[in-house]
Amino acid sequence: MKKLWIIPLLAMLLAGCGKETMLETVTDVQDTPVVSAVRRIQLQLPAELSAPALQSEEEGTLYLCDDYSVTVQTMEAGDLQKTIRNTTGMNKDDLQILQTRHGDTKRYQWTWTTAGEQGMQVGRACVLDDGAYHYVLTALADEDKAGKVQPQWREIFTSFSLATEREEMSTGS
């Protein structure tokens, strides 16, 4: 009879000795994105635009001459529609935008017309998108002077680019 009591007692003692359930805790590791530095803009401006007329962090740099104005700005990338609206006051779908690519940089270009203080104005814009920032170049002229300034605009917009990493390192920027 003593043996019969030992069996249930051993069964109760051994009941807690089964395989232990392992619980695993997973922690979300959220990497803080590394914000790249603003790259240096390369731009050849004609002599009549050499000195900025206005310069601010929010509005960029404004250059004025008798026939047209040029603005250079840097904005956070991500929303091209917002950049276009801030630049032209128009929606992306209302414009014909030419998109090209040079290395890691996307280039968007377009023209538009708008009402100005002295009548209609013609604008041309270019956005360089490196994934972190939009580098924006705009030119604006009165409609009657727009044809005359096209050679200057062509040179300005052709020269608009971002410094390469090698150029950045050599200048220490």
The CATH number of the domain where 125 resides is what? 3.40.1000.10
What backbone torsions phi and psi does residue 95 show, to the nearest 5 degrees? -120, 155
Mean of the per-residue pLDDT values of the chain: 83
By CB neighbour count within 10 A (0-12 exposed, 13-18 middle, 19+ buried), where does 163 fall? middle
- For a pLDDT cut of 90, what percent of the chain falls above it? 56
Domain limits at 79?
63-171
Contact 72, 41 (CB under 8 A): yes
Question: How many domains, in total, are found in the chain?
Answer: 1
Looking at residue 49, what is its pLDDT? 81
In a domain, 10, yes or no: no
Question: Is residue 27 in some structural domain?
Answer: no
* Structure tokens, 91: 């929606």
How does pLDDT run across 114-163, given as a tens digit for each residue?
A: 887 778 999 999 999 999 999 999 999 999 999 999 999 999 999 999 98
The single residue listed with the structure tokens 């779908």 is: 93
Per-residue confidence (pLDDT) for residue 171, from 0 to 100: 56
Round to whole Å and give the CA distance between 119 and 79: 31
Q: How far apart are CA 111 and CA 84, in angstroms?
A: 11
